[in-house]
Amino acid sequence: MSTEKFRRELRQEAEQWWQEGLIDAGLYERLCERYQLRSLEGDASQRFTAILLGLGSILLGLAAITFVAANWQVWPRPVRLALLLGLFWAVNAAGFYLWRKPASRSQRFGHGLLLMGGLLLGANLGLMSQMFHQSGQLYALFWVWGLGVVVMAYGLRLASLGVLAWVLLQLGYWLGWSNSLWGGSLSDSAWSLAIQHMPLVTALLFVPLAYRCRSRWLFWLASGTVAMSISMNTLSLFNSSESAMGWAVPVAFLLPPALLWSYSSSLWRRASDPFVPIARSLALWCLGISFSLFAFQAVWETAKPDSVGFTNWHLVADVIVLIIVTGLGWFQIAQESRQFQSGRHFDRLLHSGTIAGMLLLAFGLLYCSFNWVTLGSLGVLASNLLLFGLAIGLIRDGLALGSRGAFWGGMGLLVLDIICRMLEYNTGLLLKSLVFALCGIGIIAAGIWFERNSLSSHASTHRSTEEKPL
């Protein structure tokens, strides 16, 4: 779809071409019809009118809220109940009616009303619980509100409602954890159990919703939440006074990248999965963060074998289920690589075999250090080598594929590793200054070389395409 900036520039250039005689009147008319160049001023006027209507609607809404707040205690309960339900249903019905219209402006306005309906659902829940004297934890309100918006998102297939539901459930999740940290309990209600089983809840609610809405952003948020909640909930399995011991640390930091890299919807659907690149990019991010943390010497100094005990046995179910899903995903990757092994050449350096080797090596080091013997300097050296190998792999793949994200991700990890080691160990200021200067010069030189290399390769590809016979 052409942007308005492109259409304005095209109209200006087309008029100049017509005046210079490069195109005739017929071609100019066809360009105007194809890109709707004559409707640019009308679209700007309609957009200005929509902005004015939006501002006026906001002021009217604030006036209505102020009026209701001034008379809320005066009105009887049936009037307040009818007002809340009537406003909620009226906004959602109007939004659904306008959203179903084919006109784009009406669809946008209806979309906004549906989002307002999702917000009004929380206001209704809070005010009705106050009217009927129903008290409870704040995180439970966010969970009920978020689940209601999830139902709306599934019914309407709106990714924006899905993002709103994700925000609400995240607020409920973190409020629940903060409540437990300040002396509360997380085992006294169904909503507390949902917080403790956040990885499975997020995977079951938002991953299918991302496919239903065809939203890459929603899948990215859901995958990141699953990875984060796995680490949080796994580290809370043990009641050690110093740190989480046993297998909690390796599982908490290495299960998320293993799960994300092996993820594929072909386990339950036959169609091609457009979200696999997103999951694997998140897996590389998780590996980079984990290896960066393990590269610090303090992590391996505190990793001492100790006896630990479970605080909540039912939390192990999440880990077991996700490990099974991860195992199925890696089994499928092994089957596919065995099927296409003959004559196959891995173009990427960071392919599934390399990632599996890194995960197994890191898991073995962490498990040994937290259960058998303290590795100390050996663990620090191995973690730095893993981080260095991941950075080099990203840089190589970025150069081979012309991917700026992979190239600069690898450069960032490499520079971060060097700077952290210089700041961690007791080195002189002159040496630190020299290292910082070399890192800066290296980044500038690598950036210029990468841009020139990518531009030259793009030009050669374009030239070879033009030279092909028709």
The pLDDT tens digits of the residues spanning 143-152 come to 988 999 999 9
What are the beta bridge partners of residue 310?
A: 238
Domain final residue, candidates 50, 71, 92: 71
Q: Tell me the pLDDT of the chain averaged across its residues.
A: 76
At 78, the pLDDT band (50, 70, 90 cuts) reads confident
Cβ neighbours for 290, distance < 8 A, ≥ 6 positions apart: 253, 254, 257, 362
The pLDDT tens digits of the residues spanning 297-329 come to 777 776 555 544 444 556 677 888 888 988 888
How high is the pLDDT of residue 307?
Answer: 41
Are the CB atoms for 409 and 292 separated by under 8 Å?
Answer: no
Structural domain including 57 reads 1-71
At 428, the pLDDT band (50, 70, 90 cuts) reads low
Cβ neighbours for 397, distance < 8 A, ≥ 6 positions apart: 348, 349, 350, 403, 406, 410
Residue 134 located in a structural domain: no
Residue 166 located in a structural domain: no
At 282, the pLDDT band (50, 70, 90 cuts) reads very high
Residue 310: strand, helix, or coil: strand
How high is the pLDDT of residue 169?
Answer: 92
How high is the pLDDT of residue 243?
Answer: 43
Residue 244 located in a structural domain: yes
Residue 179 located in a structural domain: no
Residue 167 located in a structural domain: no
The pLDDT tens digits of the residues spanning 327-340 come to 888 888 887 776 65
Q: What is the percent of the chain where pLDDT is above 70?
A: 72
Domain final residue, candidates 71, 103, 128: 71
Residue 28 burial (10 A CB sphere; 0-12, 13-18, 19+): middle
Residue 135 located in a structural domain: no
Separation CA 290–CA 444 (nearest Å): 27
Is residue 368 scored above 70 in pLDDT?
Answer: yes
> Domain count of the chain?
2
At 186, the pLDDT band (50, 70, 90 cuts) reads low
Lowest mean pLDDT among 19-23, 64-68, 70-74, 83-87: 64-68
Angle between helices 248-261 and 352-371 (to 10 degrees): 170
How high is the pLDDT of residue 302?
Answer: 65
At 205, the pLDDT band (50, 70, 90 cuts) reads very high
How high is the pLDDT of residue 466?
Answer: 41
Q: Tell me which residue has tokens 């080091």.
A: 365
What's the Cα-to-Cα distance from 233 to each of 110, 139, 277, 325, rounded to whole Å?
Answer: 39, 17, 26, 18
Is residue 452 scored above 80 in pLDDT?
Answer: no
pLDDT: which is higher, 66 or 355:
355
Domain final residue, candidates 71, 106, 129: 71
